[in-house]
């Protein structure tokens, strides 16, 4: 915490020194969304290069003056929380002055900018993000406040903890971990009692694009148990994108890649090649939109695809067919095909990439 306080004090000192010299204060931070600032490293994923291009938030420019003021406001709130060892969610910060901030997304972006500027992980700033992910299966742990969570003894879904860093006493006999893209598929696998039928496993869903806590938990479980991690996604560009976020990280959070990515994650399904192999009817597939085509083209150009020749082939199959499929398409074969046939066969015979 003293490092966080010192980092904030240095920023404020810079502002005061500029004012003393009658200069307009400026906040300088790395340009988080520029691919030129990103390098791909097989063992980490997407990470920010040490000397990257920066952008300035100026106090004397009408375009950025408000953002400058909001960054100082949130810096002061973080400073007080770290001093008093209290925590707030991003939502709490927004609701402390909705008129001033204008929208939740403004607060979210500023907190990420501050984390990047100070080079301090977001959870060390005492800002918690609200969690949307779920976890179930063969896992028990103790939360920071002492609450014991046991996912093993029931088909109950547990929300991913909002302070992943604080959980301890993790125990599991799971043989593997399954990351499921969507809530509906996750619930279906729970209803079919999948995680105890095949072999003990841990199931996680970020319910679409994963939030920070879900990604932190996946990483923490990998660090704790070193068991294989598989992903179950829709056979579409959006599903591939989500899988890449878990495995290699995202451009906007590349400055935190070391805490968030798990490059050993495997693509279990739904593979574009599975659709032909299982004779899925054409009329059960969905034609690409222009947006799908653009998203797939952008994924194919990413640096990590060159390191994954088998993925590359699957993306080429998808691009050639211009068709996508949701995991639910397997119900056209039989209502429980996913949990009774598809997943057990894949896991037994090594049908992953």
pLDDT tens figures, 191-233 = 888 877 778 889 999 988 998 889 999 999 999 999 999 999 9
What CATH class has 134-349?
alpha beta
- Model pLDDT, residue 50: 76
pLDDT reading at 287 higher than 80: yes
Please give the Cα distance from 231 to 265 (Å, whole number). Answer: 7
Q: Look at residue 55 in the predicted model and tell me its pLDDT.
A: 82
At 238 the pLDDT is: 94
SS3 308: coil
Q: Between 1.10.510.10, 3.40.50.300, 1.10.10.10, 3.20.20.140, what CATH number should domain 1-128 receive?
A: 1.10.10.10
Give domain limits for the chain.
1-128, 134-349
Percent of the chain with pLDDT over 70: 99
DSSP 102-168: -SHHHHHHHHHHHHHHHT--GGGGTEEPPP--EEEES-EEE-TTS-EEE-TTSS--EEPPS-GGG-E
* Catalytic positions, written as ranges: 95
- Name the pLDDT band for 154 (thresholds 50, 70, 90): low
Q: What is the pTM of this model?
A: 0.82
Query: CA 344, CA 234: separation in Å to the nearest integer?
Result: 18
| CA end-to-end distance (rounded Å), the chain | 42
If you average pLDDT over residues 136-164, what whole number do you get?
84
- Return the pLDDT at 155: 67
Mean pLDDT rounded to a whole number for the chain: 87
- How far apart CA 183 and CA 255 sit, in angstroms, is 29
Report the pLDDT value the prediction gives residue 232, as an integer from 0 to 100: 94
pLDDT in tens, 252-270: 777 777 778 888 999 998 8
Among candidates 56, 80, 57, 79, which has minimal Cα distance to 69? 57
């Amino acid at each position: 915490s003293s490092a966080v306080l010192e980092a904030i004090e240095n920023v404020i000192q810079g502002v005061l020194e500029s004012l003393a010299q009658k200069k307009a204060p400026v906040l300088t931070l790395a340009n988080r969304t520029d691919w030129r600032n990103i390098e791909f490293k097989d063992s980490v994923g997407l990470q920010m290069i040490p000397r990257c291009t920066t952008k300035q938030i100026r106090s004397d420019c009408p375009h950025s003056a408000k953002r400058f003021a909001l960054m100082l406001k949130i810096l002061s709130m973080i400073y007080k929380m770290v001093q008093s060892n209290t925590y707030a969610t991003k939502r709490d910060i927004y609701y402390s002055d909705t008129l001033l901030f204008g929208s939740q997304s403004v607060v979210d972006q500023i907190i990420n900018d501050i984390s990047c500027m100070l080079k301090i992980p977001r959870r060390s700033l005492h800002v918690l993000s609200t969690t949307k992910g779920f976890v179930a299966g063969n896992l028990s742990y103790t939360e920071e406040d002492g609450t014991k969570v046991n996912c093993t003894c029931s088909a109950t879904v547990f929300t991913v903890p909002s302070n992943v860093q604080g959980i301890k006493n993790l125990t599991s006999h799971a043989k593997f971990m399954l990351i499921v893209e969507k809530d509906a598929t996750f619930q279906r696998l729970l209803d079919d009692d999948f995680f105890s039928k095949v072999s003990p496993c841990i199931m996680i869903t970020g319910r679409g694009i994963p939030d920070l806590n879900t990604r932190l938990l996946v990483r923490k479980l990998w660090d704790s148990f070193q068991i294989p991690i598989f992903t179950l996604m829709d056979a579409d560009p959006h599903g591939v994108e989500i899988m890449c976020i878990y495995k290699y990280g995202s451009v906007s959070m590349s400055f935190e890649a070391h805490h968030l990515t798990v490059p050993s994650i495997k693509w279990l399904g739904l593979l574009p090649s599975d659709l032909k192999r299982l004779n899925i009817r054409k009329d059960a597939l969905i034609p690409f939109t222009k947006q799908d085509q653009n998203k797939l083209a952008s994924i194919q150009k990413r640096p990590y695809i060159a390191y994954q020749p088998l993925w590359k082939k699957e993306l080429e199959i998808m691009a050639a067919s211009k068709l996508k499929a949701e995991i639910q398409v397997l119900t056209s074969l039989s209502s429980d095909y996913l949990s009774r046939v598809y997943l057990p066969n894949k896991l037994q015979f090594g049908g992953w990439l």
